[in-house]
């Protein structure tokens, strides 16, 4: 089972600059632990919304808007993609993350082909 662990942050947190050296070091150690355990598929931090772009469909047209996205209360600061045997194992890994005070991780299972009804499943080639 694959899970994405999302790291939301207050919208202005990323605009304030990079995290502390201590937090970066702790996150790198956390990533290394997951890699060594063979569960880490990907882990990335994201630039602030001021460097982002949104594409939205409105009235049948695609509208591109450059950041920052000031209406957002929280933005995704980073993510991990892990492959584990259960949701409980994903929660165990998330609980080891060196979150700062008031930190949060959202854990979401990734759809696999078998999760769709048979009529919507991708046929093997």
Residues 52, 69: contact at Cβ < 8 Å?
yes
Q: Which CATH number fits the domain that encloses residue 8?
A: 3.30.70.1060
Residues 1, 87: contact at Cβ < 8 Å?
yes
Q: Mean pLDDT, to the nearest integer, of 1-15?
A: 88
User: What is the reported pLDDT for 107?
Assistant: 98
Residue-averaged pLDDT of the chain = 91
User: What is the reported pLDDT for 29?
Assistant: 97
Express each pLDDT in 75-104 by its tens digit: 899 999 999 999 999 999 999 999 988 889
| Structural domain boundaries enclosing 102 | 2-112
Residue 97 is assigned to a structural domain of this protein: yes
User: What is the reported pLDDT for 13?
Assistant: 78
Residue 47 is assigned to a structural domain of this protein: yes
33 alpha-carbon distance from chain centroid: 18
Domain count, the chain: 1
pTM strictly above 0.95? no
The order of strands in the sheet holding 74-83 is 40-45, 74-83, 2-10, 106-109
Q: Which residue has the higher pLDDT, 120 or 93?
A: 93
User: What is the reported pLDDT for 11?
Assistant: 74
């Amino acid at each position: 089972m694959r899970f994405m662990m999302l790291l939301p942050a207050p919208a202005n947190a990323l605009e304030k600059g990079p995290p502390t050296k201590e937090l970066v070091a702790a996150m790198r150690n956390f990533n290394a632990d997951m890699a060594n355990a063979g569960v880490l598929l990907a882990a990335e931090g994201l630039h602030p919304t001021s460097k982002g772009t949104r594409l939205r469909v409105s009235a049948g047209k695609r509208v591109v808007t450059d950041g920052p996205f000031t209406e957002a209360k929280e933005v995704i600061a980073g993510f991990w993609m892990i492959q584990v045997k259960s949701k409980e194992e994903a929660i165990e890994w998330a609980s080891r993350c060196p979150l700062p005070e008031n930190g949060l991780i959202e854990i979401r299972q990734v759809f696999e082909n078998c999760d769709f009804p048979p009529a919507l499943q991708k046929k093997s080639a």
